[in-house]
Amino acid sequence: MPSLKDLKNRIESVKSTRKITKAMQMVAAAKLRRAQEAAEDSRPYAKRFNAVMASLAASVGDSDAAPKLLRGTGSDQVQLLVVMTAERGLCGGFNANIAKLARQKATELKAAGKTVKILTVGKKGRDALRRDFAADFVGHVDLSEVKRIGYANAQGVAKDILTRFDAGEFDVATIFYAEFVNVVTQVPTAQQIIPASYEGGEAEESSAVYDYEPSEEAILADLLPRGVSTQIFAALLENGASEQGARMSAMDNATRNAGDMIDKLTIEFNRSRQAVITNELIEIISGAEAL
């Protein structure tokens, strides 16, 4: 049974921890608002961009004149998995869920005889996958010094991926991130970015006919690299909002658990103190009776 001093120290320690988790919850809540606004503001642009690209891709089809980023290499033997997670932990299952989805995909591809290469964006994803796939790592992007994600960060990641594609290092590239739904729900998502795959969306519903100048092939050749950057930027923004939402939820749970633990320890402390006082009274009474 712990002594009164030990119980008192534990109570003070848990109270200090509760202060920290409460502060982290408030900081995450403040950051979440900005991150959520950024993610939601990017969605209409990304949706419309994808609709235009879908229309252009449908016009070009799978012809030899189509840009390589659209038609691909003609093979899917070498797969590049771009795993985007946070640089920090203490955000519940956010990082683990993304890494789990990437691990499942890598395992399936290897079982099918494919070659897997992994590029990580964020330290937590690298740490989670290093144990099983260290030999498959081809690069890492460190964003720990970045205070606020910008389009330039996405361009840097996209440039790295496009350079590897032009060098023939892989055939298919897929990004892994968490789509933000709300504070308690972040959905791990896998999205193929090379070869470019665009849903019809609004382009299929539109009956308008467009004439493009210059040709669709020339426009696609210019827009497809930007499309890769746009998709990566949107994924980074979704990740940012998801991370703060998950951290806010996790710190709220930690604060509540700390409060419950303090209540239990306080009850145990009071019972122990009462037992000590009772024993002292018994000793005093017994000594008095002996006299």
The catalytic site residues sit at: 91
CA distance 197 to 106: 20
What gap in Å lies between CA 118 and CA 111, rounded to an integer? 16
Kind and range of the H or E run holding 53: helix 4-60
CA 14 – CA 221 distance, rounded (Å) = 58
Q: Is 283 exposed, middle or buried (0-12, 13-18, 19+ CB in 10 A)?
A: exposed
Cα–Cα distance, 93 to 116 (Å, whole number): 25
Which letter does DSSP use for residue 193 in this model? E
Of 182, 188, 190, 189, which is closest to residue 246 (Cα–Cα)? 182
What does R_g of the chain's alpha carbons equal in angstroms? 28
* Closest C-alpha among 37, 32, 11 to residue 250: 32
- C-alpha 51/C-alpha 70 separation (Å) is 15
CB 125 within 8 A of CB 101: no
Categorise residue 93: left if φ over 0, alpha if ψ from -120 to 50, beta otherwise: alpha
